[in-house]
């Protein structure tokens, strides 16, 4: 599974609150792709919780 952030992130932190090992918010949001394996359900939950739908999951 690959997790991508498309343009339009508002840096709300919803994804970070779901899994801070995968998602990191600094000036922009960053996905730690090496942490996705084993955290797939959290990635899907973060994509569902994203208020601007910028988290894309490629399986």
CATH code of residue 40: 3.30.70.20
Mean pLDDT in residue range 28-45? 97
Reported as type and span, the H/E element at residue 16 is helix 14-18
- Which residue, chain included where needed, has tokens 């343009």? 7
Q: What is the mean pLDDT of the chain?
A: 97
Mean pLDDT in residue range 17-42? 97
Question: Is 27's pLDDT higher than 90?
Answer: no
Mean pLDDT in residue range 32-49? 98
Domain span at residue 19 reads 2-58
Structural domains counted in the chain: 1
Select from 3, 5, 6 the least CA-distant residue to 39. Answer: 3
Radius of gyration of the chain (CA): 10
């Amino acid at each position: 599974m690959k997790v991508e952030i498309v343009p339009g992130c508002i840096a709300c932190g919803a994804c970070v609150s779901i899994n801070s090992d995968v998602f990191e918010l600094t000036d922009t949001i960053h996905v730690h792709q090496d942490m996705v394996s084993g955290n797939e359900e959290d990635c899907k939950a973060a994509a569902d919780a994203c208020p601007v739908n910028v988290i894309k999951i490629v399986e």
